[in-house]
Structure 1
Amino acid sequence: MQRTIFNTPIVTPILRQLARLMLKLHGWRVVADRQALELKKYVLLGAPHTTNWDGYYFILTALKLKLVPQWMGKDKLFAFPLGGIMRWFGGIAVDRSKANNLVEATITQYRQRDSLVIAVPPEGTRGAAERWKTGFYHIARGAAVPVVCGFIDFPKKEVGLGPVMQMGENLAAELARLGEFYAGKIGKFPQRYTPPV
């Protein structure tokens, strides 16, 4: 298993304590669906995504909940000198010239591992977009894993894991279902949020 900020002996337990302290000092509450905490493989959505602060609170939350999330990125992001840092923060390099695309490469990663949580910001950007990118849906369907609704809500100062959802055959229906959950979650800059539908 790849060593990351979330599973490095000696270092990670210290970071978990620091994460708990920072969340408390910031006045944030972490909530988590019990079923999500028991899963070993799933696609973790991260929404709304309207600021770089989302990543900061995501890392603190993952540390507190003892999650080991990873994310997929083009292999160019992992070149020297930042490659080691990117991997330590959970990055998995993907050579897109050898795989059909990032979706297929990610599905392959799920099939090859006993446990894997891939974090995906479905909006694809911190700014307003036209619609959610649907790669997460195709990954979940292709790898036969559920989607867990990771969320952040700045007015309530809440962050965590929402419901576990199995993705059905109807993409529009699943986006509508996700939209219902995320409708009550507000990012730091609400005007930048892109709803699923």
Structure 2
Amino acid sequence: MMAPLGPRVPQRGNAFSRGLGRLVLRLMGWRVDGGVPDAPKMVLIGAPHTTNMDGVIAFAILISLGIRASTMIKDSAFRGFGGVVLRWLGAVPVNRKSPKGVVEQSVDAFNDNPQFVLLLAPEGTRSAPKAWKRGFHHVAYGAGVPIVAAAIDYQRKLVTFGPPLQPTSDYEADVGKLQDYVAAHSSPRHAERLSKPIADRQGRPWSGGGGSSSED
């Protein structure tokens, strides 16, 4: 069952937009189990990422829950009317030429806002990566905010939210817990594109980065 948002979570939309999001999910046959913790700031990750459909499902879930979530996008994409739309969608510009890297700029975004949810894909690609990217953990640890994993199950058409994890200096232990949760609560649309940590935990063969490169 989809859990309602707590009062401290950054929110957007209204009853109409949330109802529309739920309608879209129903039409696609998808369900949500649980929800995010009642916290004003968090890094929200989704995995496994094996298809472009993941983004469509994530957007519908965010609308249905009414979460105001942000993504970090290069600043050159914010020119003109497109920038207005991106900001409305919650995107935050990143200056890749800045002395500050993307991680530091992301930490600044948390520090500059009383409420901020950052949405990231820890695998970074749909092409069977050997490992998860470390950036999401560095951001959460640097900002002192919890990480919440959303596991995508294509077999059951179900997305579940795991318990919040407060990151520590032990990257391997922290990320291992997140990967354990995702592996136990997910099934991919394209198994050949699974990241090695999830493939190993699910007892599936890893394609070694040779997953299909089709558009889906």
Same fold, TM exceeding 0.5? Answer: yes
Once residues 30 and 179 of structure 1 are traced to their aligned partners in structure 2, the CA distance between those partners, rounded to angstroms, is 19
Instruction: Name the residue aligned to 2:46.
Output: 46
**Unaligned ranges ≥5, structure 2:** 1-10, 199-216
| Higher RCO by CA contacts (8 Å cutoff, separation 6 or greater) | 1
Residue 188, structure 1, aligned to residue 193, structure 2: no
**What's the CA shift for 1:81?**
4.8
Note the alpha carbon deviations across 1:96-149, whole angstroms, 9 max, x for none: 323420000000010111100000101111221121111011111100000011
Which one has the bigger strand percentage?
1
Once residues 160 and 60 of structure 1 are traced to their aligned partners in structure 2, the CA distance between those partners, rounded to angstroms, is 14
Instruction: Name the residue aligned to 1:25.
Output: 27
Task: Name the CA shift for 1:112/1:13 in 2 (closer, same or farther; >3 Å).
Answer: same
Amino acid at match of 1:64: S
Once residues 79 and 130 of structure 1 are traced to their aligned partners in structure 2, the CA distance between those partners, rounded to angstroms, is 35
Once residues 62 and 117 of structure 1 are traced to their aligned partners in structure 2, the CA distance between those partners, rounded to angstroms, is 11
Instruction: Name the residue aligned to 2:8.
Output: none
Question: Normalized against structure 1, the TM-score is what?
Answer: 0.87
Task: Name the CA shift for 1:187/1:84 in 2 (closer, same or farther; >3 Å).
Answer: farther
Aligned residue for 1:76, secondary structure, equals helix
Aligned residue for 1:118, secondary structure, equals strand
Once residues 78 and 129 of structure 1 are traced to their aligned partners in structure 2, the CA distance between those partners, rounded to angstroms, is 29
**What's the CA shift for 1:85?**
2.4
Amino acid at match of 1:147: I
Residues 179, 195 of structure 1: 8 Å contact kept: no
Once residues 136 and 93 of structure 1 are traced to their aligned partners in structure 2, the CA distance between those partners, rounded to angstroms, is 17
Instruction: Name the residue aligned to 1:3.
Output: none
Residues 123, 133 of structure 2: 8 Å contact kept: yes
Once residues 196 and 110 of structure 1 are traced to their aligned partners in structure 2, the CA distance between those partners, rounded to angstroms, is 28
Equivalent residues, number: 187
Task: Name the CA shift for 1:130/1:124 in 2 (closer, same or farther; >3 Å).
Answer: same
Once residues 92 and 52 of structure 2 are traced to their aligned partners in structure 1, the CA distance between those partners, rounded to angstroms, is 20
Residues 43, 118 of structure 1: 8 Å contact kept: yes
Alignment RMSD: 1.8
Amino acid at match of 1:7: R
Amino acid at match of 1:192: R
Aligned residue for 2:33, secondary structure, equals strand
User: Where does 1:98-137 land on structure 2 (aligned, <5 Å)?
Assistant: 98-137=98-137
Task: Name the CA shift for 1:170/1:37 in 2 (closer, same or farther; >3 Å).
Answer: closer
Once residues 128 and 39 of structure 1 are traced to their aligned partners in structure 2, the CA distance between those partners, rounded to angstroms, is 32
Residues 21, 60 of structure 2: 8 Å contact kept: yes
Question: Normalized against structure 2, the TM-score is what?
Answer: 0.80
Amino acid at match of 1:113: N
